[in-house]
Amino acid sequence: MSVDLSLLEAAGMLRDGRVSSVELTEAALARIQAENPALNAFVRLDAAGALAAARASDARRARGEARGVLDGVPLAVKDNLLTEGVETTACSRILRGFTPPVDATVVRRLKDAGAPLLGKLNMDEFAMGSSNESSAYGPVRNPWDVTRSSGGSSGGSAAAVAARLCFGALGSDTGGSIRQPAALTGTVGLKPTWGRVSRFGLIAFASSLDQVGPMARTVADCAALLQVMAGPDAQDATAAPVQVPDYSASLGRGVAGLKVGVPREYFLPGMDPEVEGSVRAALRAYEQLGATLVDVSLPHTKYALATYYLVATAEASSNLARFDGVRYGVRAQDVKGLRELYVRSRSEGFGPEVKRRIMLGTFALSSGHYDAYYARAQKVRALIRRDFEEAFRTVDVVACPTSPVPAFPLGAQQDPLQTYLLDVFTLPCNLAGIPGLSLPCGKTSGGLPVGLQLLGRPWDEAGLLSAAHAFERAHPFTEAPRARG
């Protein structure tokens, strides 16, 4: 069936005239209708908009004016990316009914490339979570086992890609929110270098950490998506004026002579032994492909979790101050004054995890505590970045597990501190600003996917994609999930 094709296979069939964009889009919509009730990956469909874009794409192609590989390939985006005329809520009650007047730049670029956008994907509220359970729309269910979490916060994006509901998706990653759900669903997810991709129209969580990135079923698909997304943007001064290479052209390079760093701090006694086994096997596979494994140390890794939770929540408390019931979103009724309007709109609109993080961030920034918490965390962050700079003097990429555990049962995470520990392997990458990618490297005996994480030098997404592609070519992960429960 056509929805089982990879993004580039679908693009190839469009190019050869063997399928139309309308056919692909209708097949995807039918698949969503059949599978989404069990998965809850999509929170909103735009069937009319997607089909109109598909018809326009087919008409362009008939005229010989097809725009590029994405033209006509149906995709979907996380619900924290603004879509003009299509409700966007970041899966929070406080933004219920919010219909953006503009597209996020990345959304605009996908549309300009000709991709029909099927709808909006479920996520943890304001991207705060690792299990997708903080969504106002309920959790996403993992296509490999519907009693388990898809991971988060881009859980809807990951599940939709894994279950073949779309050919590729956009996610966002502040502390692992693309890579961890990719690992838990057997998909490929890339967090680009901070500054590689515009955040205009991304609903901000923690601005010094947030990046938008591609999620798909193959490394080459991610490369094709990043090609369209990357590069400066007049509407986002943080999208850096750095040359964007041809990502697809860099894929065939192989890994002969590549130095792969293995950080000893990323193999912890408490981690799942089957995850460790899969990742160690993947490292041996790199050796067999001609790469050299190098033992490296990232000594400040154990400080990343505390650093992240102070920096990210501080920035979140500031970013989320804009949700006050005045200009958009839900406003509390029957309030007596402006202050009560703010307090009641926010208290009724935000969920528990968001309130908890706003509280923590407000405390970390408050008078008398700023130096001890926020300022100190920003300095520790410098040490974490220095660890990577040091490692990349001797190695080309760093390879490690994406998540210490495979997909966990829904409802299993009760204590916030324990939940935050799920992100220990993904947080340092965001704090350092470097690119990171997760790709499937095997399955547990229980049939759950395991993710291998590759971390690279700033701006070297091409190197990461190339190293990931070499592994994928030797060990393709093509199995589709059959949802069980």
- Minimum CB separation of residue 410 from another protein in Å reads 21
177 is known as an active-site residue: yes
Closest CA to 14 of 91, 63, 87, 70: 70
Which residue, 99 or 478, is less far from another protein as judged by CB? 99
Residue range at the interface with another protein (CB under 8 A); choices 29-37, 180-188, 250-258, 309-317: 309-317
Does 240 bind another protein (CB under 8 A)? Our answer is yes
Site for another protein, residues 186 to 205, rule: CB under 8 A: 193-195
How many residues touch another protein (CB under 8 A)?
A: 78
Site for another protein, residues 81 to 120, rule: CB under 8 A: 97-99, 101-102
Site for another protein, residues 426 to 485, rule: CB under 8 A: 433-434, 458-459
In this structure, the dihedral spanned by the alpha carbons of residues 150, 151, 152 and 157, taken in order and rounded to 10 degrees, is: -40
Q: Which of 20, 78, 150, 466 is catalytic?
A: 78
- Minimum CB separation of residue 310 from another protein in Å reads 6
- Minimum CB separation of residue 229 from another protein in Å reads 16
Site for another protein, residues 109 to 168, rule: CB under 8 A: none
Look at the chain and count its residues: 485
Q: Which of 149, 153, 154, 403 is catalytic?
A: 153
Which residue, 67 or 344, is less far from another protein as judged by CB? 344
Question: Among 30, 38, 237, 480, which residue interacts with another protein (rule: CB under 8 A)?
Answer: 237
153 is known as an active-site residue: yes
Tokens, residue 76? 């979907």
Which residue, 374 or 425, is less far from another protein as judged by CB? 374
Contacts of 84 (CB under 8 A, 6+ apart): 100, 101, 102, 103, 107
Question: Among 34, 359, 412, 474, which residue interacts with another protein (rule: CB under 8 A)?
Answer: 359
Amino acid at 396: D
Q: Which of 154, 177, 317, 438 is catalytic?
A: 177
Closest CA to 217 of 138, 143, 130: 143
Separation CA 13–CA 38 (nearest Å) = 30
Site for another protein, residues 366 to 405, rule: CB under 8 A: 366, 373, 375-383, 385
Residue whose entry in the numeric block shows the structure tokens 């490296």: 296
Separation CA 87–CA 439 (nearest Å) = 31
Q: Are 442 and 280 in contact (CB under 8 A)?
A: no
Cα dihedral sign for 16, 21, 24, 26?
A: negative
Question: Among 241, 257, 269, 485, which residue interacts with another protein (rule: CB under 8 A)?
Answer: 241
Q: Could you list the beta-strand ranges (E) of 198-238.
A: 211-216
Cα dihedral sign for 293, 298, 302, 308?
A: negative
Site for another protein, residues 205 to 224, rule: CB under 8 A: 207-209
Instruction: Measure CA 401 to chain center.
Output: 16
Q: How many CB atoms lie within 10 A of CB 407?
A: 27
- Minimum CB separation of residue 335 from another protein in Å reads 6
Q: What is the enclosing helix (H) or strand (E) of 31?
A: helix 21-39
Which residue, 63 or 336, is less far from another protein as judged by CB? 336
78 is known as an active-site residue: yes
Site for another protein, residues 56 to 85, rule: CB under 8 A: none
Phi, psi (rounded to 5 degrees) for 425? -90, -15
- Minimum CB separation of residue 222 from another protein in Å reads 21
- Minimum CB separation of residue 402 from another protein in Å reads 22
Residue whose entry in the numeric block shows the structure tokens 């959790």: 139
Closest CA to 7 of 103, 59, 76: 76
Which residue, 355 or 443, is less far from another protein as judged by CB? 355
Residue whose entry in the numeric block shows the structure tokens 């874009």: 53
Question: Among 17, 37, 269, 327, which residue interacts with another protein (rule: CB under 8 A)?
Answer: 327
Site for another protein, residues 333 to 352, rule: CB under 8 A: 335-344, 346-347, 350, 352
Q: Any idea which residues carry the catalytic annotation?
A: 78, 153, 177
